[in-house]
A and B are shown apart, each in its own frame.
Chain A
Amino acid sequence: MESERDYALKPLEQVWNDGGAYALLGPSGCGKTTLLNIVSGLLRPAQGTVLVDGKDVTGASPQARNIAQVFQFPVVYDTMTVFENLAFPLRNRGVSRDQATARVEQIASLLELRSELGHKASGLPADVKQRISLGRGLVRSDVAAILLDEPLTVIDPHVKWLLRRKLVQIHAELRVTLVYVTHDQVEALTLADEVIVMNEGRILQRGTPRELFERPAHTFVGYFIGSPGMNLLPCTIDGHFAVVGGRRLALGPVCDRARARGGTTTLGIRPEFLRLHPRRPEQAASALEAVVIGVENCGGHKIASARFGEQTVAVKLSEEDSIEHGAACWLEFPLPWTMLYADDRAVA
């Protein structure tokens, strides 16, 4: 008897548009690599189909699918030179030597590998090897999509951003579909037009980085994206009020919809949107009193921790704002940015 637990991926559907840049974002083990491998053909799904331009390719092998994949750690053919590495996919497909050379040089220029073409591929630094891996995918003129599985994991941090920038540049120039798997939200948010957040085999939300930031559809999305993540406070509904930490916040009609949905309710607001006032603000209905219990200096900004009842929240402050540890304050929950979640899913 099979239960949902036996499946790495729960039932899902995803459409990839040609030329788009997608990020599959989620924690380790959420199924993003599994999904990627199904798209590339390295894995065959137990159930379901993969369609390309309406054609069923579920049973097709990777080389028949016009995709290229870059893996977590660099895969190069050690005995060959960089040039031979890049030419390998072309030679296997019977492309003539002249054509292959031309194409290899073109891609090598794009990836800034021209100076390395004559060197043996082994012994080169990791980021060069990853560019070679990427290049092997790009040389094929019929390649429809490049799939990248956490390709920057073993790259030095100060070289990472160079490679990221190169990816963005390539995408802009070649307009090839990119699917980028990562657990790093910074990578996802900078590289992708559309970010797909996954957890435990499910797609929780898909949208632009801005949508995910401003309107997380799931508490996990709120928590996972942002640094620090969204403040998530358990609450109860009383009329048009949310009761949190013993205080009442007037949130309006959304409370009715939350109560209609049923289940456990959670209040969410991002530290960036929560407002800290030293005195009682005018819009007192959606504010409450709290005590500042800590202020952390994070370089360009500050994070203050405030406590009310038994709840602690983080508030983002600018560098100039000063508030004392232990001071009393008022926290305002602006209505447009305050989200209610019933059973972890957002209430519209």
Chain B
Amino acid sequence: MAKPNDNRAWLMMLPVLAVVGFSAVIPLMTVVNYSVQDILGPDQRIFVGREWYHKVLTDPELHGAFIRQVIFSASVLAIEVPLGLVIALSMPLHRIWSSLSLVILALPLLIPWNVIGTIWQVFARRDIGLGGVAINALGIPYNYTSNAFDAWITVVVMDVWHWTPLIALLCYAGLRAIPEAYYQAARIDGASSWGTFRHIQLPKLKGVLTIALLLRFMDSFMIYTEPFVLTGGGPGNATTFLSQHLTRLAVGQFDLGPAAAFSIVYFLVVLLFSYAFYLVMTAGDRR
């Protein structure tokens, strides 16, 4: 059945527009405003046009942070999405076990992000942390404070530990929403469990996987608190990602102009990538 064309659907959109529009438009305008001015003081502004954008885009530090950010997001997505899906598929059917699993699964999501950074900061230390000590005890030299590679591994593992449950929960809810009749029909048709996965579960999970992928991409691209607390961006700037770079600009140097310009650029980059992902994932629907 094709979707009926009905512009009255805009009425259903009004509550959302009121709430989100209110929250979104005004700040956005403010930021754009700042990005094209040089704010020397509370009442001293000079319009500088594209100067900040130029300065921001040619900054070599920014390039470094950008590349690191892309590698980070790619690694994290590549691990979290399949892992979350497999966890969702492995959830038990029995009511008590599934309840217990759900609660344990969701725990990492509920910890404030600065506390997460703090946990791992101690946990991964090779002198006083359970993780750090254990790894070194196995004979692997590991020190995230001085070794850039180890720092990277730690940051990635922390993110995977923190956010895989989000994907797992989404996929699990999506799996539970598949009507039993589909599984019954597959049994009668003699489908193997791989066949059931490929022809029923995976197609039905497409919507959920799209939002999971987009969500994790966006959030990982903007990640700030956890890696900042864990490594402070170090050693050196090995784990300095984009948003930390932005914060340094805005807070450290208290330069609102370039910071605002950078925010706009940042936003556009995320937008572009997300839109590309979105187009790819929904390619089938548009045929």
Partner of A75, one of B1, B181, B195: B181
Q: How many residues of B contact A (CB 8 A)?
A: 17
Which residues does B use to contact A, with CB under 8 Å?
1-2, 179, 181-182, 184-185, 187-192, 195, 199-200, 203
Nearest B-chain residue to A64, judged by Cβ = B190
Partner of B190, one of A72, A79, A80, A93: A93
- State in angstroms the CA–CA spacing of A92 and B2 once bound together: 31
Q: Are B199 and A42 in contact (CB under 8 A)?
A: no
A88-113 to B contact mask, C-beta < 8 Å, 1/0:
11001100000000000000000000
Q: Are A88 and B189 in contact (CB under 8 A)?
A: yes
Partner of A42, one of B179, B187, B189, B191: B187
Given A79-B199, A88-B189: 19 more A-B contacts, CB < 8 Å: A40-B188, A42-B184, A63-B187, A63-B190, A67-B188, A69-B184, A71-B181, A71-B184, A77-B199, A77-B200, A88-B199, A89-B188, A92-B189, A92-B195, A93-B190, A123-B1, A125-B1, A133-B185, A137-B188
- State in angstroms the CA–CA spacing of A40 and B199 once bound together: 22
Closest 8 CB pairs of A and B: A92-B190, A71-B181, A75-B185, A89-B189, A63-B190, A62-B188, A77-B199, A79-B203
Q: What is the distance, in angstroms, from A26's C-beta to the closest C-beta of chain B?
A: 20
A-B contact pairs, 23 of them (CB 8 A): A40-B188, A42-B184, A42-B187, A62-B187, A62-B188, A63-B187, A69-B185, A71-B181, A72-B181, A75-B181, A75-B182, A77-B200, A78-B203, A79-B199, A80-B199, A88-B191, A89-B188, A89-B189, A92-B190, A92-B192, A92-B195, A123-B2, A136-B185
8 Å CB contacts to B: which residues of A22-46?
40, 42
- State in angstroms the CA–CA spacing of A126 and B195 once bound together: 24
Taking the complex as formed, is A73 at the interface, i.e. its CB lies under 8 A from any CB of chain B?
yes
Instruction: Specify which chain B residues have a CB less than 8 angstroms from the CB of A267 in the assembled complex.
Output: none
Instruction: Specify which chain B residues have a CB less than 8 angstroms from the CB of A62 in the assembled complex.
Output: 184, 187-188
Knowing A71-B181, A79-B203, A123-B2, the reply to whether A92 touches B191 (Cβ < 8 A) is yes
Instruction: Specify which chain A residues have a CB less than 8 angstroms from the CB of B189 in the assembled complex.
Output: 63, 88-89, 92, 136
- State in angstroms the CA–CA spacing of A72 and B188 once bound together: 15
Query: Interface residues of A toward B: which range?
Result: 20 to 34
Instruction: Specify which chain A residues have a CB less than 8 angstroms from the CB of B182 in the assembled complex.
Output: 75
- State in angstroms the CA–CA spacing of A106 and B203 once bound together: 29
Instruction: Specify which chain B residues have a CB less than 8 angstroms from the CB of A71 in the assembled complex.
Output: 181, 184-185
Taking the complex as formed, is A61 at the interface, i.e. its CB lies under 8 A from any CB of chain B?
yes
Taking the complex as formed, is A68 at the interface, i.e. its CB lies under 8 A from any CB of chain B?
yes
Q: What is the distance, in angstroms, from A41's C-beta to the closest C-beta of chain B?
A: 8
- State in angstroms the CA–CA spacing of A69 and B182 once bound together: 11
Instruction: Specify which chain B residues have a CB less than 8 angstroms from the CB of A79 in the assembled complex.
Output: 199, 203
Please report the number of residue pairs spanning A and B whose Cβ atoms sit closer than 8 angstroms. 53
Instruction: Specify which chain B residues have a CB less than 8 angstroms from the CB of A136 in the assembled complex.
Output: 185, 189
- State in angstroms the CA–CA spacing of A249 and B182 once bound together: 57
Instruction: Specify which chain A residues have a CB less than 8 angstroms from the CB of B203 in the assembled complex.
Output: 77-79
Instruction: Specify which chain A residues have a CB less than 8 angstroms from the CB of B190 in the assembled complex.
Output: 63, 89, 92-93
8 Å CB contacts to B: which residues of A120-140?
123, 125-126, 133, 136-137
Q: What is the distance, in angstroms, from A309's C-beta to the closest C-beta of chain B?
A: 51
Instruction: Specify which chain B residues have a CB less than 8 angstroms from the CB of A75 in the assembled complex.
Output: 181-182, 185
Report which residue of A62, A77, A88, A89 has the largest number of chain B beta carbons within 10 angstroms of its beta carbon.
A77
Q: What is the distance, in angstroms, from B3's C-beta to the closest C-beta of chain A?
A: 10
Nearest B-chain residue to A133, judged by Cβ = B185
Q: What is the distance, in angstroms, from A83's C-beta to the closest C-beta of chain B?
A: 14
Instruction: Specify which chain B residues have a CB less than 8 angstroms from the CB of A63 in the assembled complex.
Output: 187-190
- State in angstroms the CA–CA spacing of A89 and B191 once bound together: 8
- State in angstroms the CA–CA spacing of A196 and B188 once bound together: 25
- State in angstroms the CA–CA spacing of A79 and B199 once bound together: 7
Nearest A-chain residue to B189, judged by Cβ = A89
Instruction: Specify which chain B residues have a CB less than 8 angstroms from the CB of A125 in the assembled complex.
Output: 1
- State in angstroms the CA–CA spacing of A63 and B183 once bound together: 13
Q: What is the distance, in angstroms, from A103's C-beta to the closest C-beta of chain B?
A: 14
Instruction: Specify which chain A residues have a CB less than 8 angstroms from the CB of B199 in the assembled complex.
Output: 77, 79-80, 88
Instruction: Specify which chain A residues have a CB less than 8 angstroms from the CB of B200 in the assembled complex.
Output: 77
Report which residue of B2, B179, B184 has the largest number of chain A beta carbons within 10 angstroms of its beta carbon.
B184
Q: Are A73 and B181 in contact (CB under 8 A)?
A: yes
- State in angstroms the CA–CA spacing of A137 and B184 once bound together: 13
Instruction: Specify which chain A residues have a CB less than 8 angstroms from the CB of B191 in the assembled complex.
Output: 88, 92
- State in angstroms the CA–CA spacing of A62 and B188 once bound together: 5
Instruction: Specify which chain A residues have a CB less than 8 angstroms from the CB of B187 in the assembled complex.
Output: 42, 61-63
- State in angstroms the CA–CA spacing of A92 and B188 once bound together: 11
Partner of A68, one of B2, B179, B181, B188: B188
Instruction: Specify which chain A residues have a CB less than 8 angstroms from the CB of B184 in the assembled complex.
Output: 42, 62, 69, 71
- State in angstroms the CA–CA spacing of A123 and B188 once bound together: 23
Instruction: Specify which chain A residues have a CB less than 8 angstroms from the CB of B1 in the assembled complex.
Output: 123, 125-126
Q: What is the distance, in angstroms, from A90's C-beta to the closest C-beta of chain B?
A: 9
Instruction: Specify which chain B residues have a CB less than 8 angstroms from the CB of A133 in the assembled complex.
Output: 185
Q: What is the distance, in angstroms, from A100's C-beta to the closest C-beta of chain B?
A: 13
Q: What is the distance, in angstroms, from A144's C-beta to the closest C-beta of chain B?
A: 13
Instruction: Specify which chain B residues have a CB less than 8 angstroms from the CB of A126 in the assembled complex.
Output: 1
- State in angstroms the CA–CA spacing of A93 and B189 once bound together: 9
- State in angstroms the CA–CA spacing of A42 and B189 once bound together: 12
- State in angstroms the CA–CA spacing of A151 and B200 once bound together: 20
Q: What is the distance, in angstroms, from B46's C-beta to the closest C-beta of chain A?
A: 58
- State in angstroms the CA–CA spacing of A111 and B188 once bound together: 20
- State in angstroms the CA–CA spacing of A77 and B1 once bound together: 16
Instruction: Specify which chain B residues have a CB less than 8 angstroms from the CB of A40 in the assembled complex.
Output: 188
- State in angstroms the CA–CA spacing of A63 and B186 once bound together: 9
Q: What is the distance, in angstroms, from B2's C-beta to the closest C-beta of chain A?
A: 7
- State in angstroms the CA–CA spacing of A88 and B187 once bound together: 12
